[in-house]
Amino acid sequence: MADTVQYKLERMVDELDDLERKGIFTRQEIAEIVKQRRKFEYRLKRPSPLKQDFLAYIDYETQLDSLRRLRKKSVARELEKQGDKRKRRNKKSVSDFAGISRIVEIYRIAVMRFKGDLELWFRYLEFCKDKKNGRMKKVLAQLIRFHPKVPGVWIYAAAWEFDHNLNVSAARALMQNGLRVCPHSEDLWVEYLRMELTYLNKLRERKVALGEEKENVVHDYDMLLDEERRNDDGSNAGTEVSEMKVDLFQEKGLSILQTIYTGAVEAQPSSFGLRKRLLEILEATDLTHSEEMHKEMLSDMKRDFSREPEYWDWLARLEMIDSKSISDMSVTLALPQLQKAIQVYEEALQFVPSPMMFNLYIKFLMDAIAPKGGENDPSKVSSPTEDYISHLLVVYEKADVLGCMTEDLACQYVSFYLQLGRFDEARKLADRLCSGKLSDSEKLWILRASMEIKSFTDDTSAPSKDDFQYVLGLLRSALTKVSISQAEDLWLMALNFFAKQKKYLDKLVEMSLISVAKDGGSDDGFSLSSAIVNFMLQKDGIHKARKTYKRFLALPHPGLALYRSCIELELNLASVGDKDCLANARKLYESALATYGQDVTLWQNYHSMEIKLGTSETANAVCWRARKTLKNSAAFVPAPDLY
C-alpha cells in the first residue's frame, strides 16, 4: 500500500514543480497539498474504501483546481504589468491539465468500485460535460453496459447526443435501442416522441429561415444536425415560405406521432398513463389533421379502458380544460362544460358501476359546488348550485341502490347532510345505514354515536332521562362493534357526556370492563382503562380511581400501559410523603413484573423509584433481581445511587 501511494505522489512532482515555478503556490502550500493527497490516497487504498472517501477527495481536488485558476489569473495580471517578455511563463503547461485528469481518475476508480450507484455515475457524467474533457462518450458507454435496464440512462445519453453533441442519428439510435431493452418504460416512449418532434421543428425553422423551395423542405428527414453547425450566409433569411411548405412538416410530424403511438400501444396496451401523456403532446403540437388523430386516440382509450374508473374521471375533467379549473369555477353559473362532464360520469356508471367510480364522481361534484374563498360549506352556496346539491344527493342514493355504498361513501353521505344543516335527515340516514349492509362499519357507528352525543351537548336544554337512556343504548350498540383502538374519541366524548350522571357513568364503566376483557389492554396507543382511571381521578379523587383501576387489573391481560399509569398515579402521591402510596406502587410493580418480567424499562423504573423513595437495601434487592431475571441482563443499566 505504501509503495503504491508513494509512486502516485512521485508522479505529481512535475505538476507541483510547475505550480511553484509559476508562482501559483508557495513551497509551504505545496507541502500541505502533498500531505492532504497522501491522506486521501491512503484512504482509497484501504481494503474497503467508502464512497464518501472518494467524494471527499474529489471535493478537495475541485476546490484546489478552482484556487489554482484564480491564482493563475492574478499572476497573469501581474505579468501584464511587468511586460510581454514574461508572459510566456503564463502559457498552459502540465499543471493546467493535471487537476482535471486526477479528478477524472478518481471518478473512474469510484464508479468501477460502486457500479450500482447511479447517483455517482451521473455526477461523473455531469463533471465530464461541464469540463468538456472528451470522455462523455466513453463514460456513457460504460454506464449503458452496466445499467441497460434503467430508462433514465438511455434518456440521458440520447439527450446529450441531441443537445450537446448535435448528433441526431446517434440520439435516435440510443432511443431505439433503449426501447428494445426497456419497452415498458413510459418515459422512454414519451421522450422519444418529443425528441423526434423537436428535431422536425428545428428543421422546419431552418428551412423557413432560409426560404428553401417546396420540393426540398422535407426531402431528407434523416439529415443530421451536424449540418446546422455550418455557417449559412443567411442571404435568403426572412423570405416567406408558403403555407404548403409548413404543412409538409406538419404532415411529417403527424406521421411520426402515429408511428410512435402505434409502437407504444403495442408495447404497453394496458398503460393508461402513457396514452394520456401522448395525447397531451398531440394537443400541444400544431400538426396537420391532428383532429382525426385526436379522435382516434380517444376512441382507442375508450375501447381499452372503458372498465377503468380512472379513465372516465380523466375524460370528464377533460371537459373542464377550456373553462376555469374546478376549484376556481364560479358555482353561480351552470357551465356547459360542467354539464358535459356530468354526462360523462353518468355514462361511466353504465360501464363501471363501482364504489371507486361513485367516489370519483362525488368528489368532482363536491369540487364543483364548493363556494369561493375556500369555504367547504355547501349550506352557503348560491341558489343555482342547489341543482348540483340535489344531483349529488341523487348520486349518493344511486350508489346505495346499486350496492356500491362503502364505509367511506356512507360517512361522506351522512356528513354531507350535516354540512347542509339537515340534521334529522342525517340521523335517519345513519340509522338506516347502520341497520343495513354496513352494520359492521366502525367509522359509521362512531359517526352516528358522535353525532347524537354532540346534538345533546349543543342543545341549550338539559338532556332528559330518556335522552340519556337512548344515548347509552346507542353507545352499547356502537362500542360492541367497534374496537377500542378505533373508538378513542367516542369513549372520551361519552365519559364527558355522562360525567354528572353517576348511574349512567357506572354503566359506561361496566361497558368498558367488558370491552377491555374482550380486546385486552393496549400497550401502545390508546389505553381505555388508563383513560377511565384518570377520568375518575379528576372527578372523584384517588379512592375512586384506585377502586376503578383494581377492577381493571383483575381482568386478564390488563396491559402494561395501565400498570404504568397506575404506578405514576401512586408515585405522584408518594412523592409528597404518603407511605401507603409507595406500598401500592411496589405492589403494582410486582404485579406488572409477574407478566412483563423481561421488560428492561420496567425494571429500571422500579429500581429508580427505590433509589428516590425507598432505601439502599430495597434498591439493591431490585437490582439483584433484575440481573437474575432478565435474559439480556447487560441491557439493564441501574440508576445512579443517591445514598
Start-to-end CA span in the chain (Å): 57
The pLDDT of residue 410: 93
Is 361:317 a contact under the CB 8 Å cutoff?
no
Q: Cβ-count burial of 112 within 10 angstroms (0-12 exposed, 13-18 middle, 19+ buried)?
A: exposed
pLDDT in tens, 280-323: 998 888 777 788 888 999 999 999 999 999 999 999 988 877 54
Task: Let me know the angle formed at the C-alpha of 116 by 114 and 121, rounded to the nearest 5 degrees.
Answer: 75
| pTM greater than 0.75 | no
Is 49:113 a contact under the CB 8 Å cutoff?
yes
Our measurement of the distance from residue 411's CA atom to the centroid of its chain's CA atoms, rounded to an integer in Å, reads 27
Give the model's confidence band at 8: pLDDT under 50 very low, under 70 low, under 90 confident, else very high: confident
SS3 373: helix
**C-alpha pair distances (Å), 277 with each of 268, 271, 417:** 13, 10, 39
CA atoms within 13 A on the CB side of 350: 4
Share of the chain above pLDDT 90, in %: 37
Is 38:78 a contact under the CB 8 Å cutoff?
no
Residue 266 has pLDDT above 50, yes or no: yes
Cell of 616: 439502599
pLDDT in tens, 350-376: 999 999 999 999 999 888 776 544 445
Helices and strands (H, E) in the chain, number of each type:
29, 0
The pLDDT of residue 287: 75
List phi, psi (to 5°) of 38. Answer: -60, -40
Which residues have C-beta within 8 Å of that of residue 332, sequence separation ≥ 6? Answer: 382, 384, 385
pLDDT in tens, 529-578: 888 999 998 888 888 988 998 998 888 888 888 899 999 988 888 877 66
* Cell 408518594 belongs to residue: 574
Number of other residues whose CB lies within 10 A of the CB of residue 254 = 18
